């Protein structure tokens, strides 16, 4: 599915309800890792189990998941340890993020 990068859905860590092997349950619904992986591959043409990108360059660390038609960004407001915990939990389920600076 085509992704429109001109806008995105914005969440914070408080919107995360649960993470399991299928995805992230949050206040706006379930973000499915398998769907994000397909969208990432179609958009970036990079092999692997990537579901999105992470950004540590801003004032708040964030992950951007390749949901469609808009990506979903989760901002970790002054909570670097939770950011790292979420990344590691998702890796345990076999999915990865790429550093946004490596694809710009």
pLDDT tens per residue across span 47-102: 899 999 999 988 899 999 999 999 999 999 988 999 999 999 999 999 999 999 88
The domain containing residue 54 runs over which residues?
Answer: 13-102
- Residue 78: is it exposed, middle or buried by C-beta count within 10 angstroms (0-12/13-18/19+)? exposed
CA 92 to chain CA centroid, nearest Å:
15
- 2 within domain boundaries: no
Mean pLDDT of 12-22: 97
pTM, rounded to two decimals: 0.93
Total number of domains in the chain: 1
- 20 within domain boundaries: yes
- 5 within domain boundaries: no
Q: How confident is the model at residue 104 (pLDDT cuts 50, 70, 90)?
A: low
Q: Is the pLDDT of residue 28 over 70?
A: yes
């Amino acid at each position: 599915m085509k992704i429109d990068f001109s806008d995105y859905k914005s969440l914070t860590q408080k919107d995360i309800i649960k993470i399991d092997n299928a995805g992230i349950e949050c206040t706006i619904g379930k973000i499915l890792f398998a769907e994000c992986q397909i969208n990432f591959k179609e958009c970036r043409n990079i092999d692997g189990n990537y579901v999105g990108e992470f950004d540590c360059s801003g004032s708040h660390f964030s992950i951007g998941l390749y949901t469609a038609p808009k990506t979903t960004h989760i901002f970790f407001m002054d909570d670097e340890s939770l950011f790292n915990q979420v990344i590691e939990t998702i890796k345990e389920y076999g999915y990865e993020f790429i550093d946004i600076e490596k694809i710009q």
